[in-house]
Amino acid sequence: PRRLGDVRALDAVLSDVRAEAGELEQRVSSLLDVDGAWDAARVTVRELRFLAKFAADVDTMLAALEN
């Protein structure tokens, strides 16, 4: 049914978001530890915060579909 398709699609989106967040976390670490690039790290942290909020929203949608 449609609900199963929606769950699969949201799972795929969530997986992509988590992968991108992992890459951004590594980038922040490199910017701070290696480069000392505070301004660039700040921008990347904002991106991470957005992805975290988005992932939480997707989790909420998944929970609603699964119940």
User: Which residues lie below 8 Å from residue 18, measured CB to CB, with a gap of 6+?
Assistant: 55
Amino acid at residue number 62: L
Encoded tokens for 63 = 């929970």
Question: 28-45 pLDDT, tens per residue?
Answer: 999 888 778 999 999 999
**pTM (2 decimals)?**
0.81
Which DSSP string do the residues of 27-62 spell out, in sequence order?
Answer: HHHHIIIII--HHHHHHHHHHHHHHHHHHHHHHHHH
- pLDDT tens by residue, 9-31: 999 999 999 999 999 999 999 98
